[in-house]
């Protein structure tokens, strides 16, 4: 009797397994036939960092504050920057990443005050030596840097004009308030 019970349980288990197999047999496959098909990269997938283009300036908005370099536990980021004429902030002269050392922790993205850092969508980078993983993040922006600097100078000039107009309006409002106070005291 015990043997019949074991056979029955085994047969029932086999049918359950076959049912799962048959249900999944007609579903869309979850695998991607790489390299014929490219996988869709999730927004949260981590990879090498890149400088993200900001629509209002047509370039990245890195201000060479060095916060990402300072917070990096792997010491894989190296930045130098200088202040350009007509700008109130620095622009990077070099922005190098040693991706062979990067732990993809994301601290550099979290600390960036201008949100100009992001993860690359390219997931299949390969190389034969460590030097293949040294990236110059400014390389793709060198051709458009002068145009971006002109746009940034124009934005800076407009902000300065707005500040001066506000200061002038505040001074006029204070003078008018003082005149009203003086007029009230004389009456």
Tens of pLDDT, residues 55-104: 888 899 999 999 999 999 999 999 999 998 888 889 999 999 999 999 99
Neighbouring C-beta atoms of residue 161, cutoff 10 Å: 10
Bridge-based pairing state of the strands 90-98 and 134-136:
antiparallel
Nearest Cα neighbor of 131 from 97, 82, 108 is 97
Asked whether the predicted pLDDT for residue 187 surpasses 80, the reply is: no
Q: What is the pTM of this model?
A: 0.69
Q: What is the DSSP letter of 54?
A: B
Class of domain 49-155 as given by CATH: alpha beta
**Between 39 and 108, the higher pLDDT residue:** 108
Average of pLDDT values for 26-33?
A: 83
Expressed in angstroms, the distance from the first to the final Cα of the chain is 116
Residue 79 CB partners (closer than 8 Å, separation 6+): 62, 64, 66, 68, 69, 92, 94, 95, 96
Query: Which tens digits make up the pLDDT trace of 121-148?
Result: 887 778 899 899 999 999 999 998 889 9
Query: In the chain, what are the domain boundaries?
Result: 49-155
Question: Is there a contact between 102 and 94 (Cβ–Cβ < 8 Å)?
Answer: no
**Whole-number Cα distances in Å, 176 to 37, 162, 187:** 71, 21, 17
């Amino acid at each position: 009797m015990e043997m019949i019970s074991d056979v029955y349980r085994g047969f029932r288990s086999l049918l359950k397994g076959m049912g799962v197999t048959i249900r999944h047999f007609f579903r869309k496959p979850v695998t991607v036939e790489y390299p014929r098909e490219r996988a869709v990269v999730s927004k949260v997938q981590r990879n090498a960092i890149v400088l993200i283009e900001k629509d209002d300036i047509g370039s990245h908005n890195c201000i060479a504050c060095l916060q990402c370099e300072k917070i990096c536990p792997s010491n894989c980021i190296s930045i130098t920057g200088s202040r350009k004429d007509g700008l109130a902030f620095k622009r990077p002269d070099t922005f190098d990443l040693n991706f062979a050392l990067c732990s993809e922790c994301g601290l550099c993205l979290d600390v960036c005050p201008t949100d100009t850092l992001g993860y690359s969508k390219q997931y299949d980078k390969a190389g034969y030596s460590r030097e293949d993983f040294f990236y110059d993040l400014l390389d793709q922006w060198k051709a458009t840097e002068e145009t971006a600097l002109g746009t940034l100078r124009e934005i800076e000039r407009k902000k300065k004009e707005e500040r001066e107009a506000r200061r002038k309006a505040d001074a006029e409002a204070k003078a008018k308030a003082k005149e009203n106070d003086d007029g009230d005291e004389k009456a």
